[in-house]
């Protein structure tokens, strides 16, 4: 399997004007890993799929603001 | 030709009158990586691509128009009852002076939409790579708008649109795989 959030720690200068963000995150969406979609992948129930934006569980990767919710944008 | 269904692809809900969010959202309306640019790009490129992938661009280009309509609805709901004072606070007074509360195809900084945002190179791989990049840029833009937004109902709709960008990028990547495929599939040794 794969993860859809990656982290890195940028260099922090002792002279930075703002409080440093020590860990930066970025998104690596599922479409980077699946290649040509193989047959018979698991699906969401139809009504759920309409709301989620995809029929295929493997491609469902919702994004939440790291500033707003308890579900962090870094996927943790 | 198209058949119009008089409903949105996904329900658009907005919890508060917040013209500032409209100002951000207009990026996805008339911006370089917005839904209008996407629709026009795919629906124009499709003519000169190999027949195997024309249908894909047709379908995705059409869906982008449905997304454009969702963004328009969000912007409209966020601004329709805002007072000139609220619009001023949101930094929308230049927009108000030119357009009142009407929507217009420009980006978050007020630059009008231009065809230079899109390209059609006539080289299938080049065009599909541009399309993949466009989808990823739109996905990233939705993430940044979600980060800036404190409206949970609006974010719900934005999350749906972002998920569609992931799927579109996936399908464009598959289109590249189709065009890469070696001709003779029957491997007889």
Query: What is the spatial distance between Cα B22 and Cα A76, in angstroms, rounded to a whole number?
Result: 30
Residue among B10, B159, B177 whose CB faces A63 most closely:
B159
The nearest CA of chain A is from the CA of B124 a distance in Å of 18
Structure confidence at residue B187 (pLDDT): 56
The nearest CA of chain B is from the CA of A17 a distance in Å of 22
Report chain B (189 residues): mean pLDDT per 10 consecutive residues.
Answer: 96 93 95 96 97 97 97 96 94 93 94 96 97 97 94 95 98 96 65
Structure confidence at residue B188 (pLDDT): 55
The nearest CA of chain B is from the CA of A43 a distance in Å of 14
Q: Per-domain residue ranges for chain A?
A: 5-59
Residue A51 has pLDDT above 70, yes or no: yes
- In this prediction, residue A76 has a pLDDT band, given cuts at 50, 70 and 90, of very low
Is B163 annotated as ligand-binding? Answer: no
Asked if the C-beta of B164 comes within 8 angstroms of chain A's C-beta atoms, the answer is yes
Is the torsion defined by CA of B180, B63, A34, A49 positive or negative? negative
Tell me what ipTM this predicted complex has.
0.85
Q: Are B19 and B86 in contact (CB under 8 A)?
A: yes
Asked if the C-beta of B173 comes within 8 angstroms of chain A's C-beta atoms, the answer is yes
Q: What are A26-49's pLDDT values in tens digits?
A: 999 999 999 999 999 999 999 999
Check: CATH 2.30.30.140 for B19-151? no
The CB-side HSE value for A24 (13 A sphere, CA atoms) comes to 7
Phi-psi region of A40 (alpha: psi -120 to 50; beta: other; left: phi over 0): left
Instruction: Report, as an integer, the average pLDDT of A52-73.
Output: 82
Query: Cβ–Cβ of A66/B147 closer than 8 Å?
Result: yes
- In this prediction, residue A71 has a pLDDT band, given cuts at 50, 70 and 90, of very low
Query: What is the spatial distance between Cα A21 and Cα A35, in angstroms, rounded to a whole number?
Result: 34
Structure confidence at residue B182 (pLDDT): 82
Residue A72 has pLDDT above 50, yes or no: no
Residue among B10, B140, B167 whose CB faces A59 most closely:
B167
Query: Cβ–Cβ of B174/A37 closer than 8 Å?
Result: yes
Residue linked to tokens 């598959």: B174
Structure confidence at residue B186 (pLDDT): 61
Tokens at residue B37, please?
Answer: 């640019």
Interface test with B, best of A4, A31, A69 (most B CBs within 10 A): A31
Residues 6+ apart with CB under 8 A from A35: B173, B177
Query: Cβ–Cβ of A35/B177 closer than 8 Å?
Result: yes
- In this prediction, residue A1 has a pLDDT band, given cuts at 50, 70 and 90, of confident
């Amino acid at each position: 399997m794969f993860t859809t959030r990656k982290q890195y720690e940028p260099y922090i200068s002792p002279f930075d004007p703002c409080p440093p963000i020590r860990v930066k995150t970025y998104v690596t969406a599922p479409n980077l890993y699946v290649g040509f979609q193989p047959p018979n992948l698991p699906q969401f129930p139809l009504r759920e799929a309409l709301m989620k934006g995809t029929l295929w569980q493997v491609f469902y990767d919702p994004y939440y603001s790291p500033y707003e919710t308890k579900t962090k944008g870094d996927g943790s | 030709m198209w058949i119009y269904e008089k409903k949105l692809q996904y329900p658009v809900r907005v919890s508060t009158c917040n013209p500032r969010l409209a100002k951000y959202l207009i990026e996805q309306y008339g911006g370089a990586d917005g839904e209008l640019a996407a629709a026009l790009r795919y629906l124009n490129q499709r003519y000169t691509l190999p027949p195997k992938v024309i249908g894909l661009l047709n379908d995705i280009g059409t869906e982008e128009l449905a997304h454009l309509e969702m963004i328009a609805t969000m912007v409209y709901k966020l601004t329709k009852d805002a007072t000139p004072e609220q619009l001023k606070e949101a930094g929308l007074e230049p927009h108000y002076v030119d357009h009142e509360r009407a929507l217009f195809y420009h980006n978050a900084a007020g630059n009008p939409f231009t065809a230079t945002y899109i390209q059609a190179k006539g080289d299938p791989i080049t065009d599909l790579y541009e399309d993949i990049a466009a989808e990823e840029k739109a996905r990233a833009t939705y993430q940044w708008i979600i980060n800036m937004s404190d409206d949970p109902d609006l974010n719900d709709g934005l999350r749906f649109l972002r998920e569609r960008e992931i799927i579109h990028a996936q399908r464009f990547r598959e289109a590249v795989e189709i065009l890469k495929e070696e001709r003779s599939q029957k491997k007889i040794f």
